[in-house]
Amino acid sequence: LGPTVCVGEILVEIVATTVGNGFMEAQPLVGPFASGAPAIFISQCGRLGGSAAMIGAVGTDDFGRVNLERLKGDGVDISAISIDPDYPTGSAFVRYREDGSRDFVYNIATSAAARFGWSEGVSNLIDRAGHLHVMGSALSVSSACEVIDKAVDIVKTRGGTLSVDPNIRKELKLDEATERRFARLVAVADLLLPSGEELERAAGVEGETNAIRRLFEIGVKEIVLKRGADGATYYSREGERIDAPAFIVAEIDPTGAGDCFGGAYLTCRRLGMPAADALTYAAAAGARNVTVVGPMEGAGTREQLDAFIATTERRS
Q: Residues in the site for ligand ATP, rule: CB under 6 A?
A: 195, 226-229, 231-232, 246-247, 249, 251, 254-259, 261, 283, 286-287, 290
Min separation Cβ 2 and ligand ATP, Å: 26
Q: Considering beta carbons, is residue 32 or 256 the nearer one to ligand ATP?
A: 256
CA–CA separation, 140 vs 123, rounded Å? 22
Q: Considering beta carbons, is residue 59 or 256 the nearer one to ligand ATP?
A: 256
Q: Considering beta carbons, is residue 31 or 286 the nearer one to ligand ATP?
A: 286
Max CA pair span of the chain: 54
CA–CA separation, 42 vs 285, rounded Å? 13
| 8-state DSSP, 119 | -
Taking alpha carbons only, the member of 249, 248, 262, 245 closest to residue 296 is 262
User: How do strand 90-96 and strand 11-16 relate by DSSP bridges?
Assistant: parallel
Q: How many Cβ atoms are within 10 Å of 202's Cβ, its own excluded?
A: 25
Q: Considering beta carbons, is residue 236 or 291 the nearer one to ligand ATP?
A: 291
Contact 86, 116 (CB under 8 A): no
Min separation Cβ 284 and ligand ATP, Å: 8
Min separation Cβ 140 and ligand ATP, Å: 15
Min separation Cβ 157 and ligand ATP, Å: 29
Q: What stretch of H or E contains 87?
A: none
Min separation Cβ 135 and ligand ATP, Å: 10
Q: Considering beta carbons, is residue 184 or 315 the nearer one to ligand ATP?
A: 315
